[in-house]
Structure 1
Amino acid sequence: MKVAIISTFDTFFDRVDLLKEYYQDKGLEVTVITSDYSHRLKEKYQNNKADIQLSVRPYNKNLSIDRLRSHDQFAKKVKEYLETLRPEIVHCIIPCNSLCKKMSAYKKEHDVKLIFDVNDLWPESLPVGNIKHRFPFTLWKNTRDKYIEHADMILSECDYFKEILHKEHSSKWHTLHFAKKMHPSNTVSTFTLEEFSFCYLGSINNIIDIDLIVAFLSACTKVRKVKLHIIGGGEKKELLIEQLRQNSILVIDHGYIFEQEKKQEILDQCQYGFNVMKDSVMVGLTMKSMDYMCGGLPMINTIKGDTAKICDEYSVGYNLTKDSISEIVSLLEKETIDENRQKRETIKKVFMENFSQEAFNKTLERLEIV
């Protein structure tokens, strides 16, 4: 039996890898299809994890007609390729939204099991304010909404997406959480109470709430010295660093680190990790939250839905708003090393039970996806 896994973007390949391994373990012949254009780098690239890379037109701006045309071209070429491949299962990661229309058309013409796997919501998750309710954003959204229900099964990477789309009670929709192959380490935290030590892991870009991070850390300086470890990059990193230094906050910029052991050494020095995006961004989980949880680092969080519930229900972080800054700083001031270490152990368990490869595969088994 053949299965085609389709992902327009390299940013979703952690999930693609897990899906490919699962299907192959079930004895299926897997073909991974993607484009030859990196949305993140804005250039053509070679993806060694893909079996097929389809050539698409480039685009330079995230919010542009060229981007929509590139996505439409990819969806059309995928459909054409499937006519040759003839898989029994099509597992299609959304976005891009254009795939909903083309894969629905392919299913109508062939006896195939179609699975849509929603990993982001466009345009809902874009930080563009109210213009997301205007043309052409409405067209973009409607391309997804009009055709997505044609699938046999629809997966969502978090519960929050189902809430946004009002699909909480749909028998066709199921949550398949973000997951990573990593396992938590047995290292011990090394921070002291002489200072507040935080971590920011990942890209610092236009969806990150820099003002809120700076305001929170500035409030922390009134209690203790403050240090922020940065692991990653992004076009807004220098802006964040400049504003923090203006507020007497020590910044240690580690740059990009990909080795898990080296990341863990830094996480062990910190009390909390920042999982902070602008309020207009509609996501329920982030990849950085996976890294924090696996690394045993409690979170300072603004992400709604799934992550907010985890922080509250398991007491492994604080849900930050402008109005809660003083309250959270006061709680951090009173927190002991033992209390923080207990949170670290709890958040590792949350990761293993919900976001590990084992949890991912267990969900697929329960859904009888094959």
Structure 2
Amino acid sequence: MNVLLITPFYNDNAEISRPGFVREVLVKNNINVDIVTSDFSHPQKTKVKFDSDKIKTIKTLSYNNNTSIFRFISHFLLALSLFYYGFKNRNKYDIFYVTAPFAIVVLLLKIFTSNKIIVDIIDFWPDSLPFPKNKLLAIVLSCWSKINRMSINLADSAISLSTTFLKEANKIKNKKQILLGSKSRFKSLDNNHNSEYDLRIVYIGNIGLLYDFDTLLDAIVDSRLKIHVNIVGDGDKRHSVIERLEKGNISYTYYGIIYNDDKLDNIILESDFGFNGFINTTASFSYKAISYFKYGLPIINSMKGDLWDYVEEYEIGYNYTGGDKKQLATVLSSCSLSLTDNVQSFFNENLEYEIVSKKILQTFLELS
């Protein structure tokens, strides 16, 4: 079997990238895998290079602001380029694996090729994008949304972290929820820490407009607790978040972007909860959640859907409504530091590497 992974922003690290995880699983099972992706890193806003001759990069228009028109143009041109590469090389591959939100690639490949297509719905654009709302843009975004849904329904198979996303793929018979997979890094969390702080919260990921930092910081001040915040990542709101931390006299440490697991170990093991707060998102399971769970770290969560239900059912953290600082302050005041065993059980049942990799492999074998 020959497979082409078509994905806009590829990362080879299977721990933080679904396409990276899929590639690793297929290669371990002696399936030939090539990748076509962008030469631009969306999180870092820089050009990237890959050493492997199995990874083909497409020249991509750079942008610095996630809400700019240049991002929209860049994505549109990249989608056309990704389609063209797949079309040009269609005879080399049995299956195309395409990640949505670049779902228009599925539409074009289905029109112009006969290859089998697996679509992995990682997010639904433009629903979750932080573009400013006006009448003209609303029309454009509505059309874009409808095209994305129509495109996804043309795939031969659909997988997603989210049952909500899979409901949109209502014309695909072969679809299944497959959560993110990871190898555990369970260690003895420093929960009985005799710390000078009442609570230590860690945030890992993009410091952007979709995340509920303002509510968290307001709630910390209102709670009157002595709370320390560890921040790993970067993004458009980094300066304003740090400014608010300092203005509110909230203890924090900013680490920047860290890819080294050993460095991340030390930060997370000195934290009590991971923050998974969102203001507006259509997603229902996040990469940052598994970044916390693989350490046995419970979460403070506002993401609705599957993750919200898991938090309630398995008692792996606390939910709050995004934007509700009073509710979050109450949550912070009542956090229990004894949820680690629950998180580890949930991880082993749903997110453990071998369990997820078998589901991924079976999806490809069903179309071969």
- Shorter-chain TM-score category? 0.7 to 0.9
User: Secondary structure at 1:135's aligned position in 2?
Assistant: helix
1:319 is displaced (CA, Å) by: 0.7
In structure 1, stretches of 5+ residues that fail to align are none
Contact 1:219 1:325 in 2 (8 A): no
- Distance in 2, matches of 1:79 and 1:185, equals 41
1:161 is displaced (CA, Å) by: 2.0
Q: How many residues are matched?
A: 354
Tell me the residue number matched to 1:176: 178
Instruction: Pick from 218, 236, 243 the counterpart of residue 221 of structure 2.
Output: 218
- Distance in 2, matches of 1:12 and 1:62, equals 23
- Distance in 2, matches of 1:352 and 1:118, equals 23
User: Secondary structure at 2:357's aligned position in 1?
Assistant: helix
Judge which range, 206-215 or 245-254, deviates more. Answer: 245-254
Tell me the residue number matched to 1:145: 149
Instruction: Pick from 343, 346, 349 the counterpart of residue 353 of structure 1.
Output: 349
Contact 2:153 2:169 in 1 (8 A): no
Tell me the residue number matched to 2:261: 260
Q: Confirm whether residue 362 of structure 1 aligns to residue 358 of structure 2.
A: yes
Instruction: Pick from 59, 74, 81 the counterpart of residue 77 of structure 1.
Output: 81
1:291 is displaced (CA, Å) by: 0.9
Equivalent residues in 2 for 1:328-347, closer than 5 Å: 328-332=331-335, 335=336, 340-341=337-338, 343-347=339-343
- Distance in 1, matches of 2:301 and 2:229, equals 15
Equivalent residues in 2 for 1:1-370, closer than 5 Å: 1-10=1-10, 14-48=17-51, 51-63=55-67, 66-82=70-86, 83-86=88-91, 87-107=93-113, 110=114, 112-128=115-131, 131=134, 134-163=138-167, 165=168, 167=170, 171-180=173-182, 182-190=183-191, 191-192=193-194, 195-221=198-224, 224-278=225-279, 280-321=280-321, 322=324, 323-332=326-335, 335=336, 340-341=337-338, 343-367=339-363, 368-369=365-366, 370=368
- Distance in 2, matches of 1:47 and 1:59, equals 20
Contact 2:158 2:169 in 1 (8 A): no
Instruction: Write the letter of the residue equivalent to 2:344.
Output: K
Contact 1:72 1:98 in 2 (8 A): no
Structure 1 length normalisation: TM-score? 0.85
In structure 2, stretches of 5+ residues that fail to align are none
Judge which range, 36-45 or 149-158, deviates more. Answer: 36-45
- Distance in 2, matches of 1:114 and 1:62, equals 29
Contact 2:278 2:302 in 1 (8 A): yes
1:27 is displaced (CA, Å) by: 2.7
Contact 1:310 1:316 in 2 (8 A): yes
Identity of aligned residues (%): 24
User: Secondary structure at 1:199's aligned position in 2?
Assistant: strand
Instruction: Write the letter of the residue equivalent to 2:222.
Output: A
- Distance in 2, matches of 1:27 and 1:174, equals 23
Instruction: Write the letter of the residue equivalent to 1:225.
Output: K
Structure 2 length normalisation: TM-score? 0.86
Aligned CA RMSD, in angstroms, stands at 2.7
Instruction: Write the letter of the residue equivalent to 2:22.
Output: L
User: Secondary structure at 2:128's aligned position in 1?
Assistant: coil
Q: Deviations over 1:54-111 (max 9, x none)?
A: 223444554455444443433433343333352111111112233122122233xx3x
Contact 2:201 2:271 in 1 (8 A): yes
